Structure 1
Amino acid sequence: MLSHLRHLLIDSWFGRILVGLIFLVFISWGAETIIDTWSHQDNNVVAWVGSKRVTVQELDSAANMQLQQYAAKQGLSDKSQLPNGMKASLITQALQQLIIENNLLLTADKSGLSVSDEALRNLVFSFPAFQQDGKFNRELFNLYISQQNTTETQFLKMLRNQLALSGLTEPLVSGASASDIMAKNIFGFSNETRQVSYIQVPFNSFKPSASPSDAILKRYYDNHLWDFTVPEFRKVKLIFISPETVAKGLEVSDQQLLQYYNSRKNDFQKPESRNLEIVTVKDQKAAEDLATSWKTATWESIQQQTQKDNGFATTLAEFTAQSSPSAELADAVQKIALNTVSAPIKTPMGWSVFKVTSVVPAHEIAFDTVKSQLKTELVQAQAKQAFANNIKTIQDVLAGGEGLDGKLGGLGVVAVEGTLNEQGLNLEGDPAPIPSDDKVKQAIISDIFSKAKNAPPSLIQGDNNTYYAFVVEDITPAHQETFEQAKDRVLKAWQQQDIKKQANVAVTAIFKQAQDSHKPIQNTGNQQFTIKESDAFSRVNPSKTLPPELQAQAFSMQMGQTTMFESPDSFYVATLNNIKTPTPKDNPTAYNDLKDNLAQAEANDIYSSYIIFLNAHSKVDVNQQAVDAIIKQVSY
């Protein structure tokens, strides 16, 4: 059911660009319109769109869904772990989505578009998730409504609105197309392949010259003083806390886990499902050939044949109608006999052929199977509650002047101390062990180098629901090393420069020979530096062996032209020896996909323009106090 709705309502052009339009809405409405003076005086309404209302409950529901989805994308277990600023931004985006939808619904009403009860009923009855033995089952429908924490009225209203929106917007974009001239030019540009003959001269092929005298090293030191400056170092004591650090100190008993399992027993009742082998290709004829071959061929050979057809083959374990990517596939799987190859079926991904290899009876997932999962969930739930309490305790301790040596034990705090520079490196040149991701770590380091020595610590909120506090105990200012202090480093730097100079001389000779002779590069007779031929590479399918910068340069070169290029570890000299611009006949599937994508982009532009037009002629009032109340409730 969810996948069917996702395909119908979200995986369409309408859903994909709805969020992007939010930013266009701000432009077309302007700040004065979107935060207009509230004139309707209804505390249960957050926005009026003409005669339509966006209620507090609607925004609360949409915002919670958006927050949870964003948290999941960020790898967070709960929306509460999001920074307050991000929560406010996402709630505002959710409001703009609701305003756009209501603006479209208002236009549909004015246009006389309506969805009959019969059309709505037929849609509901067609969902595989609500069917048993091919017929609508009221109990399955009621179960779904209950699981979604909604009511039948709300669910049917949502479906009716989406059907109305489709009726309004589909005709606008149905004529979108891409011209052959544009498609051919883009196809040729993107898929043009080039090949080069090249010689690589690695720096490590050379050894330093004889040891230089102190006079030479001193001169090198004087000419590169900036390379031998010691940066400022700071000695710090730091504490760090997050829901994850709190969770590490929590334990739950088997008895608690069993109680939790029993309270959620319905979640572990699995319906009958099927295990599938399935292949998907773009072309119907290829799918028909696969279906014919599969009747006698093995799964392994079918996988190989699918790969040759530029498709993909996979297995789907415990497939159900609810997990199906399309209603057509769900219906076909339900009807087909065991170990029978299906006829090709049109799905959102192309043309699919499948075989049901086994049927998994309805069953209950045993406690021991999900024990680890339940433990993680319970610990995370307890950590979430403890985290908020621990933050308050830490703030009280720091406010009382007890510092980082105060009563912070048992709060899930990670404490570290050491010396680091502004690049986050310790005295040995290794990364300082700050217990956070790179983004938070950079913020911590920035704060450390902006605070005075021995300034009292305060708890600072970072990204991803993290908090930290620190004291700068000592500061060693940046200073210039003397030649004697830096002599070992000076020698190493001089040797690296000498090696690079030798490599440069060698590669320049190869390049100059090609330039003087007006011919491609030639073998030098040195077995270390032989000519190699690259594979064909394109802008959409780059080479895995050539440096990206050399490939980019190759696309600006003329046929037969030679260039010299430096990478971090080598010099390259290369001659462009082949250019091939493909035509649509070379890869009709890729060309047709490109035309479809271009047509989709044009449809998106048409839809965006229509939304901007509607917004320019609409009246929107926002109850900012109600919106702020929801933001405050979610943030604290």
Structure 2
Amino acid sequence: MLDGLRIMSKNWLGRTILAAFATLIVIGFGFFGIRDVFTNFRADQLASIGATTIGATQYRAEYQNELQRLQRQARRAVTNDEARALGLDRQVLARLLTDSALDQDAARLGLSLADAEVAKAIKAEKMFAGPDGKFDQSRFDMILRDNGYNEASYLREERATAVRRQLGAAIAGGFKVPHAMLEAINRFNAETRKADYFILPPADASALPAPAEQAIKEFYELRRDAFRKPEYRKVTTLTVSAETLAKSLTVSDAAAKAVYDRDVAQKYSTPEKRALSQLTFSSKEAADKARARIDDGVLFKTVSQDPQSGGVPVDLGEVAKSGVFDPAVADAAFKPTEPDVVGPVQGKFGYVIVKVASITPGTTQSFDSVKDGIKAELAKTQVKGDVQNKHDRIEDLRSSGKTLTQAAQETGLSADTLVTDASGAGKDGAPLGVAPELVKAIFASDVGVDNDSVSRKDGGFSWFEIAAIEPSRQQPLDEVKDQVAKALKDSDAQKALAAKANELARKIDGGSDIADLAKANGVAPRQAANVRRAGGEGLTEAAVAQIFALPVGAAGVALADQGGRYVLKVTDSTTPPLDTRDLGLARALPQLEAAMADDLLVQYVGGLESQLGVKINQTALRAALGSDQ
């Protein structure tokens, strides 16, 4: 062949043919893969940011390190699918991009750290200390070797980490929450509102005339899915658990009484609780002055709100004695037999005056009221070891060809037959009490399939056999006409009620008295005081949200229980002044400042990434994780 090519190359016609053939080869490779020869050197490039490239090998190593750390925290094996569901793959890539962005910014700013400073920081690390508490070179070398580092690479990484830390501290270090934000937080947490309201009862559709045929048809067409029959599956189930096996055991009253006597204080008794408020003073003199004012008739609340008293007020709420942190305060607060003010007593953090606002006595459940539950728990404990034995016996019977019903009979158990939809409800819509994990397995299988046992959350096992499947189907209008007509009437009644409530709210805004409107509609006017965003007594979440959405003096409407409607008017709003000495605020402030500092750093890094430009090779990313998604 080579000889033939040499002969052809000696004349102009042969050279022309060879040139044309070579051109066709070049064009063919250009379309079908020759470009890979020139670009495959970038196949390992997973992402780039600015001038820095993140390789697939680097990403895979970082991902595996984080996966192993996650497994150590969870104390179990974590699969790649679970890790990706938690977002571990995105977190690792985001961290690598962030580090690269900060490294490039540090280089731009000329930031660096001397070798001596890096070495000093490493020697201070406790994990490198030997038995004497000092830096141990051999331990240092061992840890680096176990984690795939040598000394040079570890020093390089530690220097980069320290520089990033310095850059982060310069950006967000020493951040303080603005006073305006503290005011906003105080308003959100402490604001209380008052409202006048009344409740229109749920709409009564029975008095409405029967809807027209055309209206029924249009309502049905718009809501066809609401009148669709779900898929049902007829199954035979068999369950083995401590609860099912315990039903065959009898536990004596004497055994139950012994358990009751042992656990009565911990399980069957409710400790006495008291509603407590306290004032803490740094000096006994200030505490004595405050106590003297209280003895002279000044209210405890007045003294606690007076900044001149020098006391730090704390509302402990209703707590048991064990819930009071300071033992001396607890002893003093739980000593009086009636509500009272006690103290000052010397506590761990100063001198304390405590107001006992109310006392809720402790209670103890009688043996007769709890003995059945105790017997059930004792029985479960006795049969707990039999669950696995029953499981193995049933598996052996099924392997020999026995049905679930036959296996149940031979093991002294009973199998159940039921018809369920995918929500675990029967054809009447009532829940069947089937465990969600079992329902899920039932609807993942099919008729005639030999199914594995399903592990239950209570440590037991369930088996099932699907006898028949009734597919989901659209019910024709003729079949559900009465249901559609009723739903249409209910919908019209609700619309009419909502329109009436909105009209009444407009009248209130126009100057009508809310109490008069309530009486005119046959309902009682009510008042809600001390409503907070967390809730208000007797109010639904929707009503509370509406009260805080409206300005003071405005009226509105909210959904009440069972389809009724609130008609309400906000009458007052009170926000106590911001108290920077509040212990709750003092505890939360460091966390808030740290969170806001982190957010500031995230915004800075986001700006860097936008300037530098980020590119991600999705194909290489999927290949690095061994995923096609």
Give me the TM-score of the superposition, normalised by structure 2.
0.50
Q: 1:429: which partner in 2? A: 429
- Find the residue that maps to 2:385 and give its secondary structure: helix
Instruction: State the Cα distance separating 1:563 from its structure 2 match.
Output: 3.8
Which residue in 2 is equivalent to 1:144? none
Residues 448, 472 of structure 1: 8 Å contact kept:
yes
**What is residue 278 of structure 2 aligned with on the other side?**
282
Deviates more, 1:199-208 or 1:392-401: 199-208
SS at 2:487 equivalent: helix
After TM superposition, give the deviation of residue 571 of structure 1 in Å. 3.5
Distance in structure 1 (CA, Å) of the matches to 2:355 and 2:396 = 62
Matches of 2:480 and 2:351, distance apart in 1 = 65
Does residue 547 (structure 1) correspond to residue 540 (structure 2)? The answer is yes
CA distance in 1, matches of 2:377, 2:524: 59
Name the structure 1 match of 2:191. Answer: 192
Residues of 1 paired with 2:597 and 2:221: CA distance?
A: 64
Displacement of 1:572 in angstroms is: 4.0
**Distance between the aligned counterparts of 1:538 and 1:380, measured in 2?**
46
Partner of 2:472: 478
For residue 594 of structure 1, the aligned residue among 569, 584, 602 is 584
Once residues 250 and 509 of structure 1 are traced to their aligned partners in structure 2, the CA distance between those partners, rounded to angstroms, is: 65
Conserved in 2, the CA contact under 8 Å of 1:419 and 1:426? yes
Deviations 1:133-164, CA, capped at 9 Å, x for gaps = xxxxxxxxxxxxxxxxxxxxxxxxxxxxxxxx
**Secondary structure of the residue that 2:582 maps to in structure 1?**
helix
Distance 1:201 1:403, change over 3 A: same
Q: Alignment identity in percent?
A: 19
Query: Which residue does 2:453 correspond to in 1?
Result: 459
Tell me whether 1:346 sits opposite 2:340 in the alignment. no
Q: Measured at CA, do residues 570 and 525 of structure 1 come closer, stay the same or move farther in structure 2, by a change above 3 Å? A: closer
Whole-angstrom CA distance in 2 between matches of 1:176 and 1:347: 31
Offset from partner CA, 1:283-340 (integer Å, 9 cap, x none): 24799899999x9xxxxxx9xxx9x995567776xxxxxx89769559989xx9xxxx
Contact kept in structure 2, 1:278 and 1:352, CA below 8 Å: no
Contact 1:200/1:529, CA 8 A, preserved across alignment: no
1:244-323 equivalent positions in 2, closer than 5 A? 244-251=243-250, 281-284=277-280, 310-311=315-316
| Farther off after superposition, 404-413 or 487-496 | 404-413
Q: Distance in 1 between matches of 2:394 and 2:493?
A: 55
Distance 1:379 1:201, change over 3 A: closer
Residue 496 of structure 1 is matched in structure 2 by 490
Aligned partners of 1:199 and 1:573 also within 8 Å: yes
Distance in structure 2 (CA, Å) of the matches to 1:494 and 1:573: 25
In structure 2, distance between residues paired with 1:345 and 1:400: 76
Q: 1:483 to 1:287 in 2, by over 3 A?
A: farther
Task: Return closer, same or farther for 1:412/1:325 CA change in 2, 3 Å cut-off.
Answer: farther
- Residue matched to 1:581: 575
- How many pairs are equivalent? 420
Higher deviation after alignment, 562-571 or 372-381: 372-381
Q: Deviations over 1:4-28 (max 9, x none)?
A: xxxxxxxxxxxxxxxxxxxxxxx9x
Residue 398 (structure 2) aligns with:
398
In structure 2, what is the Cα distance between the partners aligned to 1:192 and 1:315? 28
After TM superposition, give the deviation of residue 344 of structure 1 in Å.
Answer: 2.6
8 A contact 1:239–1:414 mirrored in 2: yes
Given the superposition, is the C-alpha separation of residues 237 and 350 from structure 1 closer, same or farther in structure 2, using an over 3 Å criterion? farther
Contact 2:194–2:530 (8 Å) recurs in 1: yes
Q: 1:416 to 1:347 in 2, by over 3 A?
A: farther
Once residues 288 and 400 of structure 1 are traced to their aligned partners in structure 2, the CA distance between those partners, rounded to angstroms, is 85
Q: Could you say if the C-alpha distance between residues 393 and 350 of structure 1 is closer, same or farther in structure 2, counting changes exceeding 3 Å?
A: farther
Q: CA deviation at 1:33?
A: 3.7
The root-mean-square deviation of aligned C-alpha atoms, in Å, is 6.2
Provide Cα deviations, 1:187-231, integer angstroms capped at 9, x if missing partner: 122112233444543333564323345565455444543332222
Unaligned runs of 5+ in 1: 1-26, 38-45, 48-58, 68-82, 90-102, 116-174, 296-301, 317-322, 356-367, 435-440, 610-636
Higher relative contact order (CA 8 A, sep 6+): 1
Query: For residues 605 and 114 of structure 1, what CA distance do their matches in structure 2 show?
Result: 38
The 3-state SS of whatever aligns with 1:582 is: coil
The C-alpha deviation readout for 1:486-528, integer Å capped at 9, x for no partner, is: 233123223212322332342343345467x588879558622
How do 1:499-578 residues align onto structure 2 when only pairs under 5 Å count? 499-513=493-507, 517=510, 523-524=516-517, 527-528=520-521, 532=525, 534-566=527-559, 569-578=563-572
Q: Does 1:243 align with 2:236?
A: no
User: Any conservation in 2 of the 1:280–1:351 contact (CA below 8 Å)?
Assistant: no
Q: TM-score, normalised by structure 1?
A: 0.50
Relative to structure 1, the CA distance from residue 560 to residue 408 in structure 2 (aligned partners, 3 Å threshold; closer, same or farther) is same
Structure index of larger Rg: 2
Query: Quick one: distance in 2 between partners of 1:188 and 1:540?
Result: 10
Question: Which residue of 2 is the match for residue 152 of structure 1?
Answer: none
- Per-residue deviation at 1:478? 1.8
Deviations 1:546-590 (A, max 9, x none): 332242244333344444444560234444443333213xxx69x
- Map 1:361-400 → 2, pairs under 5 A: 379-400=379-400
Runs of 5+ consecutive residues of structure 2 not aligned to the other structure: 1-58, 84-120, 134-173, 305-312, 336-341, 357-367, 600-629
**C-alpha distance in 2, partners of 1:412/1:425?**
28
592 and 508 in structure 1: CA distance in 2 versus 1, 3 angstrom threshold: closer
**Distance change in 2, residues 1:179/1:109 (3 Å):** farther
Structure 1 residues 327, 562: closer, same or farther in 2, change over 3 A? closer
The one-letter amino acid of 2:426's match is N
For residue 578 of structure 1, give the secondary structure of its aligned residue in structure 2: strand
